Amino acid sequence: MAFAIQFTIDVLSLGGAYALMALGLVIVYGILRLVNFAYGELIMVAGYTMFLASGSGLPWIIMALLAVVMAIVFGILTDYVAFRPVRAKSVTAVLITSFAFSNLLQNAALLFISPRPRNVPLPEIFSQTVTIGGAITPVRNLITIAASIVLLAAVAFLMRKTTLGIAMRAAATNFTMARMLGVPANLIISSAFALSGFLAGVVGILWIGRIGTVVPGVGLEPLLVAFIATVIGGMRSLPGAVVGGFLLALIDTTLNYTLSQDLLKFRDAFTFSLVILILLWRPQGLIKGPASGQRT
Amino acid sequence: MKHSYLTALILIAVILVIGVGSQLLGIRLYDRIATNLLISLVLVVGLQTFMGNSGLLSFAHIGFMGLGAYTSAVLTIPAQMKGMALPDLYEFMKIVEVSPLLAMLAAGVLAAAVAAVVAYPLMRLSDAASVITSFALLVVLYTVMNNWSAFTNGPRTLFGLPKTTDMPIAAIVAGIVVIVALLFKESRTGKLLRASREDEVAAAALGANIPHLRWRAFILAAFIAGIGGALWGHFITSFAPKAFYLKETFLIITMLVIGGANTVTGAVAGTVLITVAYEGLRSTEGALNATSFGAGQVIGLTEIVLALAMIAVMILKPGGLFPNREIGHILTRARRKKEPAP
């Protein structure tokens, strides 16, 4: 029983974080059909903001807010630097500019801060543990679960009930049509980037809360996770991203428990091979998105 | 067709000039840089055969280079050194020791074989999904290299490769690869593939089996990457798996993209340009570190400048410096314009 609870909490907390990461990537992808390679660096930005703010003596919650705001700012900056100037030209061009922008941010962190890991301030509660039904669990896992439930609900509400959300979904379904009906294209795209940055910021705090330190390459793993989760779930569908995130967490956790120590080192290789198999079976991903419209 | 010969001639002349020039100057550092450039050229032109013709971005290329480097290492490290360099190697492999040339071919063949198996399902994907899966493939290859200690000595540095790559060998391989890339581009497969790059639906309607065409190009690219990896391994003689990851991927993609992914000329031009810029920036960085007036080490400056250059090129010239036509084609057209047809 204790094992079952442990397993469930592990899957849910990891899955919650993964789902948020994937969601942040898909929100941009859904509208632009373009992958944002600099997405992981938004998480890095959130981490370094926390590190830089740690000397200021502000309460932790303010620092966290600041980190999220910076992630949003950099999300919008990604749009202005890497996407807007080349958006209309070619898909490859945008993939490359966002890849270059990601490299730019990483190396800026290397140059101006440090290649070595930096400690991030964390409140006491992140390192405590509680016992639920015989299973010892870090409180941060429960926080992650709670945060992901709240955020997923909030995003669902935003996308379904507000004008902005409906406009964004319209743009994701058929961008040209949405523009003809008066949806301002640039505003919608920037909002998508802002929302993506917001999710990255929150995930960044939760994710770095697990590790405790931030390095320039910290965004790589979340980026890969988001990639894989979206590919599994369906590149175009928001619920797909969430499903993909939880499924990937289930796979990862199961492999963690079942693989022997020797094979565990190859876990990433197993996970990614599984992704290839899923794509073989369903190239669209598990959940199909809205009917495809023309890319802008 | 004539202009293809002209292109091949010019590009080989460029390689010769680089090779001979670096020798004439007689500075050891330039010899190293030239050899490095020629090896990069092999890799970038190899990537061009897939990326340029199919129009799909591939991140996995460096992974296949790593595969080639390790294959060649396992085959060529002298038997008496293997106990030290690769303590966990399987018994039957410990006595194997072949000539570097043979090992280089084996490296290419193995990389191509692995590519043939893993890439077949991936070639059905287009756009973002294909990019993401190629990224995933890079991670898989890296993870395997980092952890399969028996063959790769794990994340630790593998040493003891005989140093057999020098400038002339690199130049010869680079020349052959350029010719192969040009031949492939003009072959039936290459032409159909380029048609699919321009318009997937129309090419498929004309009967092009797009996944199969892409698959062939991918195998060729992996083969060249494997050769390039072996070449590099015998030049550098000791390396660790992290030499085959994102930083190098970024570098060769920058080279290809700034030069122009669609043309072999672009691949060559980009490689030369970026290598020169990279070495220049590196030495600036070194000089800055030597004077040490700032606080701490200057690292990452080179990459920042390259990233900015890449974004600028993409904004101003999304196709790179040579977006569509090979150098030979450009020259014949220019001449034809000057003297109207008889």
Pair A224, A267: CB distance under 8 Å: no
Q: How far is B147 from chain A (nearest CA, A)?
A: 6
Binding-face residues of A in 195-254 toward B, CB within 8 A: 220, 224, 227-228, 230-231, 235
- Among all chains, which residue has been given the structure tokens 């250059």? B309
Output the pLDDT for position A199.
Answer: 93
Instruction: Say how far apart CA B302 and CA A103 lie, in whole Å.
Output: 11
Joined tokens for residue A16: 């919650």
| Confidence (pTM) | 0.87
- Name the residue in chain B with its Cα closest to that of A90: B318
Output the pLDDT for position A54.
Answer: 84
ipTM, interface predicted TM-score of the complex: 0.82
Going from N- to C-terminal start, the domains of chain B cover 2-290+297-331
Instruction: Give A275's contacts in chain B (Cβ within 8 Å).
Output: 133, 136
- CATH match for B2-290+297-331 among 2.30.30, 1.10.15, 1.10.3470, 1.10.8: 1.10.3470
Output the pLDDT for position A296.
Answer: 38
Instruction: HSE, CB side, 13 Å, CA atoms: give it for residue A26.
Output: 35
Judged by phi (left if over 0) then psi (alpha if -120 to 50, else beta), residue A38 lies in alpha
- pLDDT beneath 50, residues of chain B: none
Segment B20-24 long-range contacts (CB within 8 Å, at least 24 positions apart): B22/B167, B23/B167
Whether chain A has a CB inside 8 Å of the CB on B253: the answer is: yes
- Among all chains, which residue has been given the structure tokens 């893993």? B118
Residue B192 one-letter amino acid: L
Output the pLDDT for position A140.
Answer: 85
Instruction: Say how far apart CA B13 and CA B319 lie, in whole Å.
Output: 24
How confident is the model over B167-211, as pLDDT tens digits?
A: 889 999 999 999 999 999 999 999 999 999 888 889 999 888 999
Instruction: Say how far apart CA A198 and CA B194 lie, in whole Å.
Output: 40
Per-residue pLDDT of chain A (296 residues; tens, 9 = 90+): 788 888 888 899 999 999 999 999 888 888 877 888 899 999 999 999 989 888 787 888 899 999 999 999 999 999 998 888 887 777 778 888 888 899 899 989 988 888 888 888 888 777 788 887 777 888 888 889 999 999 999 998 998 899 998 888 888 888 888 889 988 888 898 999 999 999 999 999 988 888 888 888 888 888 888 888 888 887 778 888 899 899 889 988 888 888 777 777 788 788 777 777 777 777 777 777 665 544 43
Judge: A104–B318 Cβ closer than 8 Å, yes or no.
no
Instruction: Say how far apart CA A278 and CA A39 lie, in whole Å.
Output: 24
Strand partners, A137: A130
Distance of CA B83 to the CA centre of its chain: 31
